[in-house]
Amino acid sequence: MTKPPIAGNRTGRKLGQKVKKGKLKASSRRWIERHINDPYVQRAKLEGYRARAAFKLLEIDEKHQILKGAHRIIDLGAAPGSWSQIAAKVTDSTDEDIRVAAIDFLEMAPLPGVKILQLDFLDPSAPQLLVDAVGGKPDLVMSDMAAPTTGHQKTDHLRTMHLCEVAAHFAVEVLQEGGHFLAKTFQGGTERDLLNMLKQNFRQVIHVKPGSSRAESVEMFLLAKHFKGRKVEPAAETAED
């Protein structure tokens, strides 16, 4: 069971630390203070995960069992790699038998059992490279992608929602029947057309917000479970001469 971390000294670090003013802007200082005092950040270091985001995936899986029985997993927007760490473990992926592919335009340190592509997911070559990397149809496509911020809230929101939509269409194209799709979205931001498309292709579509997602954050996760499978289009009839 994934339990919330207990504030304390399991990591040897006391919570409530302050950052000296120095030359930092007030906003930067507040961010650093929040980060170093975040019990999930401390727990991630203790348990060997690259980021606190690991606990978001673990909490979602605890309730919805999306990792159970997964043989191949594709991780979009993977840096720094905590979701890929979990994926490699549950699929028993090794460097000799790769079952996890991760993609991000940011550089990622190597991970055992994970094929890492440093590439923009919007690159036309990315989808096929990911499928080839895991050697077949994945059982789970997961996306923690978010567009680089511009400072303009509406623009940033629309750009990230576009990534969610592209990831969803990719999932429908490549998933194994019965597979799942998980992607970052925002509260109240999922487009109706996208939801309708997912409901047509999956047996259950819900929004989830794990406890490890910061309370003040507007992020949520869109979860589509049990892919129905791609419908084979009937061949077009050839007109007789």
Residue 4 lies in a domain: no
Q: What is the pTM of this model?
A: 0.79
pLDDT at residue number 98: 98
Residue 233 lies in a domain: no
**Percent of the chain residues past pLDDT 70, beyond the cut:** 72
Mean pLDDT of the chain: 82
Pair 134, 212 in one domain: yes
**Bridge partners, residue 182, by sequence:** 142, 223
Segments forming the whole domain that contains residue 37: 15-47
pLDDT at residue number 48: 79
Torsion angle, alpha carbons of 173, 179, 182, 188, to 10: 80
Q: How many domains does the chain have?
A: 2
- pLDDT higher than 90, residue 183: yes
* Class of residue 174 by CB neighbours under 10 A (exposed 0-12, middle 13-18, buried 19+): buried
- pLDDT higher than 60, residue 130: yes
Chain-centroid distance, C-alpha 54: 10
Task: Kindly state the average pLDDT of the residues 101-129.
Answer: 97
Q: What is the CATH number of the domain that holds 158?
A: 3.40.50.150
**Residues assigned a catalytic role:** 184
Of 22-31, 52-61, 165-174, 188-197, the one with minimum mean pLDDT is: 22-31
- Strands 73-76 and 180-186 turn out to be unpaired
For 150-169, the three-class secondary structure string (H helix, E strand, C coil) is: CCCHHHHHHHHHHHHHHHHH
